[in-house]
Amino acid sequence: NGAQQGTYIVHMAKSQMPSSFDHHFLWYDASLRSVSESAEMLYTYNNSIHGFATRLTPEEADSLMTQPGVISVQPEQRYELH
Amino acid sequence: TTRTPLFLGLDVHNSGLFPETGPSSNVVVGVLDTGIWPESKSFSDEGYGPIPPTWKGGCDAGTKFTTSLCNRKLIGARFFVRGYEAINGPVDESKESKSPRDDNGHGTHTASTAAGSVVEGANLLGFANGTARGIAYRARVAVYKVCWKTGCFASDILAGIDKAIEDNVNILSISLSGSRTGYTDDTAVGAFAAMERGIFVSCSAGNNGPFYSSVANVAPWITTVGAGTLDRDFPTVVILGNGKNYMGVSLFSGDALPPKLLPLVYAGNASNNATYGNFCISGTLIPEKVKGKIVMCDAGGNPARIGEVVKAAGGLGMILANMAYEGEEILADAFLLPATTVGKKAGDIIRHYILTDPNPTASIVIKGTVVNVQPSPVLAAFSSRGPNPITPNILKPDLIAPGVNILAAWTGAQGPSGLESDTRRVEFNIISGTSMSCPHVSGLAALLKSVHPEWSPAAIRSALMTTAYNTYKDGKPIIDIATLKPSTPFGHGAGHVSPTTAVNPGLIYDLTTEDYLGFLCAMNYNSSQIRIISRGNYACDPSKTYSVADLNYPSFAVNVDGSDTYKYKRTVTNVGGAGSYSVKVTSETTAVKISVEPAVLNFKEVNEKKSYSVTFTVDSSKPSGSDSFGSIEWSDGKHVVASPVAISW
């Protein structure tokens, strides 16, 4: 769709996973599919944070933010070695 | 590293403090960085016992890296590249290894600093020769490659932390940082999760010193490490035609200059670029004017690259002069031609000599490695400074450790200067930064964890801080090379690490996950922010009054905001024997009065906890931007439990 995609870190309220899902990774994926059929799930996290990393357009990111259980959708930062 | 263990008192006559066998070799140091060069002798597993049963990690195969390269020393090696590839496209495997293999050198250097095996006869081109060993040289190493050619991306970093937690590392060493917006930043959030699992997280404070409030990685559950020098240097002598001599530093090891005075030229007068000609930028030197001469360039870029420019233009040698920004801090560089860096003062004199003498000449003598340099440590100018830009009432950095001219293992994919044209290959390299001081503390934490496996990350940090020193043996304060004046707690935090006393600190300031969550409530974080960090349903209690001042931190920072009186509460846990501790407070100005209640704490048994309160009474009329420092020390005659106090208006 041409819009500039970026990588986003998505924080999820794991305890709000609907009972219809057996595993929170499936819930994350369904949440993502609800805003983009083609978005790539880069990583799902289980220990460092609860959530996942994905590629979205800004509009898709805004839309994902409205999904139940989504706490925050943060653009990925770049870090540097010291 | 060579020299550092001796400098830190970790040499043979203190080896009993940290038994070499048993628990010390069951501690796993995880390093988030650019990967590892597994063939380095620093990761030999000769003499190591079986991999600790608690270990759940492993090794990922990839470009030029098979799982067989892991061993009983290097017990984990993983890489995380999806975030990097999402932005940069597929890794060009002709230029970068899509595997844990370190193409850069930084990760090999930090991992071997923290926990490298013993290697006899280590050196860089003959410099800093000695027995290299990691601070916790019996510990195991697990590397998580999250940094690539163009940087380290949050999604990869979080994946590395995620896996390190699952693999069950005990220590996490992270020598990188991003923007400093708050505690919901990715490494801060990942570090919180690690801390909750009892993993000690040490991070570099950043190299943006000496600027005020430049410190990074300031989350209170992270140990933030600044950099100081060692008692070792690599001096040179610049001899001028007028007979004057000036000291410099260099790691050049090739053919020396001819033993005579050579014509000396200032780049600003030998360049086709009127504005920047003095910096010896590529393509700006006029070969006819520099050929066969020693060229003086002004500092401002990668020193080795500047040397490369002079060499390409036909210069025989180079004097690189610090400018105001670098001042008198001279970091050693592995130049590709006979060259030396000199401090600003010497540089200004040499420049004046060149511009006023009708026939300026000079020579450069490389003196090699000298030790027992005093005063040492001095605070590195580049070491980032407080106050804490996010929470001024939590003092950061926490402490300093060796970070200047540190020799440690290196990659086989790069030369020591890091320049493409540098075809030299070395097993060890000397580099500087808080990236180097952080793994020193990671290694120290591994040693403490091996002796005190029951200690929490906060207890380990407390022991390192309350036993750190901020004066030399003669009682004079540690010098800040940026000012050539005494350093302050905004520069050195609690002071320079002192492992031999940290192992038996007497009292510790412990902190639990709940304490840190209460701190976030005190910071007025909303429920979403707290949920991001806690990954749970913790909620602040509306009936409670939370205060940053009550976070049980081993240091004190007061940001004067109009009031005259500030109350802090602390609880100490006895980890020594029974004892009666008396308090001693110091304040450098009458503008700050410090009173402690009670003034005596009596302990009968180990793990007994006692609380005390501190009242800071300040002259709130002092001008904004003022700072004042002091200390709060408890002693039972055997232990000194010292906390710095930093007051800023």
Concerning whether B631 is annotated as a catalytic residue, the answer is no
Cβ within 8 Å, pair A15-B537: yes
The partner residue sitting opposite B532, judged by closest CB among A72, A80, A81, is A72
Using DSSP's 3-state secondary structure scheme, residue B390 falls into: coil
Long-range contacts, A57-65 (Cβ 8 Å, 24+): A57/A1, A57/A3, A57/A4, A57/A5, A57/A6, A58/A3, A58/A4, A58/A6, A59/A3, A60/A35, A60/A36, A61/A6, A61/A8, A63/A35, A64/A8, A64/A10, A64/A31, A64/A32, A64/A34, A64/A35
> Are B154 and A80 a contacting pair at CB < 8 A?
no
Q: What's the pLDDT at B180?
A: 77
* Closest chain B CA to residue A9: B155
Binary contact (A82, B194; C-beta < 8 A): no
Query: Looking at the partner chain, which of A15, A42, A72 has a beta carbon nearest the beta carbon of B155?
Result: A42
CB contact under 8 A, A48 and B158: yes
Please indicate whether residue B94 is annotated as part of the active site. no
Q: Is the pLDDT of residue B210 over 50?
A: yes
Peptide bond into B210 cis (omega under 30): yes
A41 touches chain B (CB under 8 A): no
Catalytic option among B24, B33, B442, B452: B33
A74–B contact, CB cutoff 8 A: yes
CA B216/CA B230 separation, integer angstroms: 23
Say yes or no for a CB contact (<8 Å) between A43 and B197.
Answer: no
Of B97, B435, B487, B628, the catalytic one is B435
Q: Is the pLDDT of residue A2 over 80?
A: no
Looking at chain B, the whole-number percentage of residues with pLDDT higher than 90 is 92
**ipTM score assigned to the predicted complex:** 0.97
**Inter-chain touch B190–A9, beta carbons under 8 Å:** no
Question: How many CB atoms are located within 10 Å of the residue B292 CB?
Answer: 9
User: For residue A39, what are its two tokens?
Assistant: 């978005």
d(CA B101, CA B96): 9
pLDDT at residue B22 in the model: 60
Select the residue of A13, A72, A79 nearest B151 (Cβ to Cβ).
A79
Q: What is the pLDDT of residue A4?
A: 85
Q: What percent of chain B has pLDDT over 70?
A: 98
Residue B12 has pLDDT above 80, yes or no: no
Q: Please write the tens of the pLDDT for every residue from B433-478.
A: 999 999 999 999 999 999 999 999 999 999 999 999 999 999 999 9
- Closest-CA residue of A relative to B166 is A47
Q: Which residue of B has its CA nearest to A39?
A: B86
- The one-letter amino acid code at B36 reads I
Q: Is A42 on the interface with B (CB under 8 A)?
A: yes
Encoded amino acid at B410, one letter: W
Which pLDDT value is given to residue A1? 46
- Name the average pLDDT for chain B: 95
Q: Crossing angle for the helix pair B154-167 and B186-196, nearest 10 degrees? A: 10
Judge whether B383 and B403 are in contact, CB under 8 Å: yes
Position B191 scores a pLDDT of 97
* B639 closest CA partner among B535, B542, B500: B500
- Residues B48-102: pLDDT tens digits? 999 999 999 999 999 999 999 999 999 999 999 999 999 999 999 999 999 999 9
pLDDT at B104 over 50: yes
- Is B40 catalytic? The answer is no
The CA-atom distances, in angstroms, between B68 and each of B101, B138, B389, B489 are 13, 21, 45, 46
Q: What is the pLDDT of residues B543-595, one digit of tens each?
A: 999 999 999 999 999 999 988 999 999 999 999 989 999 999 999 999 999 99
